[in-house]
Amino acid sequence: MKYNRRKFIGLSALGIPLLSGADLLAGARSIKNMGSGGPIVISTWDFGVAANAEAWKVLKEGGRSLDAVEQGVWVPEADPANQTVGLGGFPDRDGKVTLDACIMDEKGNCGSVAALEHIVHPISVARRVMEKTPHVMLVGEGALQFALEQGFKKEDLLTPQSEKAWKEWLKTSQYKPVINIENKSFAPRKLPGNQYNHDTIGMLALDSKGNLSGACTTSGMAFKLRGRVGDSPIIGAGLYVDNEVGAATSTGVGEEVIRNVGSFLVVELMRQGYRPEEACKEAVMRIIRKKPETAKEIQVGFLALNKKGEYGAYAIQKGFSFAVCDVNKQDLIIKGRSYY
Ligand code: SD4
């Protein structure tokens, strides 16, 4: 559905805030891609480039977007240098690495694991939940037991580097769940040892058959309360795919994304005619409008891809980037626009 005058009036009458003329102009300027129609893969943060390259191997051969996103996010999951996804992720405050992940395909099938320990590729366990069980989500001990039954190997995910950072953190044990703010000096921009405390990967792909899939995987907030689960494994919050419309994923403070069912909201806004960046912006604005004071101090970013292959992102704070890979460009990094 396209924007038109009647649609604008309809949205307004429903109480849905409309973008101003200036917003639309700025949005139009920032939306450079006109939608390749696929194949295309996009993912959060600069390190999405390497993940996209892996996903692209599947897409360029005409493969399924579901395989592309699973294999794409394997890259940061297996990278010990990436300290908020998979192996080498920062532990919780008790020193345990607990992983959250979910995956969703073009048919609306989805699978998820939360607080999963000892498995390098939680995304693949999430896919097994989707494909081998009648359920959507498994957590904690039960998720681990299922993974082991499925043949996944039990491994120690706490690297010396992440253990060192945790021990440093223990000295003050300051529990301040602020993540991903790159541009503010008051925020813990870097953790002990100079590591960034973001890096959740959300990946969205459109394959040559025009089918969309998405994956999201993380070790969550560094030094979180034991048992804390963020948005990343929650279908509708950290990830949502609707093959009629588009797909969305998020990064940042998961609590605010869950409260606003962020990724579902972005997809539903696209259904109403919003372009990807406009939809992401409106989802960000919901968070800001509800909690303006909190929003000043946190980061949340959304990333979206529609059925035409158009993409966009929007974040509360500056510094959110995403990576794009299609037939024209394999290693593109785009600085997402932001409210502040
Ligand atoms: C969480 N959204 O656990 C994740 C963390 C994150 O970039 O995205 N960091 O809340």
Dist. CA 255 → ligand 1 center (Å): 9
Residue 322 located in a structural domain: yes
**Inside any domain, residue 5:** no
Residue 245 is assigned to a ligand binding site: no
Q: Give the position, in ligand 1's atom list, of the atom nearest the Cα of 221.
A: 3
Q: Whose C-alpha lies nearest to ligand 1, atom 5?
A: 220
Q: What does the DSSP assignment read for 78-143?
A: H-TT-TTSSTT----TTS---EEEEEE-TTS-EEEEEEE-S-S-HHHHHHHHHHHSS-SEEEHHHH
Q: How far apart are the CA of 253 and the centre of ligand 1, in A?
A: 5
- Does any domain span residue 185? yes
Residue to mutate (ligand 1; options 90, 201, 219, 251; most atoms within 8 A of CB): 251
Q: Is 88 assigned to a binding site? A: no
Question: Is 253 annotated as a binding-site member?
Answer: yes
Strand partners, 227: none
**DSSP one-letter code for 319:** T
Closest CA to 140 of 216, 229, 76, 201: 229
Q: Which atom belonging to ligand 1 lies closest to the Cα atom of 199?
A: 7
Judge whether 96 and 119 are in contact, CB under 8 Å. no
Residue 27 lies in a domain: no
Active site residue 200: yes
**Do 258 and 235 touch, CB atoms closer than 8 A?**
no
- For residue 25, report the distance from its CA to the centre of ligand 1, in Å: 31
**Structural domain of residue 192, as residue ranges?**
35-338
Residues with CB under 6 A from ligand 1: 84, 179-180, 198-200, 218, 220-221, 230-232, 251-254
Instruction: List the pLDDT tens digit at each of the 340 positions of the chain.
Output: 333 333 333 333 333 333 433 333 334 334 446 677 889 999 999 899 999 999 999 999 999 999 999 999 999 999 998 888 999 999 999 999 999 999 999 999 999 999 999 999 999 999 999 999 999 999 999 999 999 999 999 999 999 999 998 999 899 887 665 555 554 433 334 444 444 555 799 999 999 999 999 999 999 998 999 999 999 999 999 999 999 999 999 999 999 999 999 999 999 999 999 999 999 999 999 999 999 999 998 899 999 999 999 999 999 999 899 999 999 998 999 999 999 9
Q: Is residue 17 part of a domain?
A: no
> Which CATH number covers residue 269?
3.60.20.30
Instruction: Give how many domains the chain has, as a whole number.
Output: 1
Tell me whether residue 23 is in a domain: no
Q: Which atom of ligand 1 is nearest to the CA of 198?
A: 7
Ligand 1 midpoint to CA 254 (Å): 5
* Cα gap 65→105, rounded to integer Å: 8
Task: Kindly give, in sequence order, each residue whose CB lies less than 8 Å from that of residue 172, ignoring residues fewer than 6 positions away.
Answer: none
Does the annotation place 331 within a ligand binding site? no
Residue 35 has a pLDDT of 74
What spatial distance separates the first Cα and last Cα of the chain, rounded to whole Å? Answer: 30
Whether 106 is in a domain gets the answer yes
Q: Is residue 26 part of a domain?
A: no
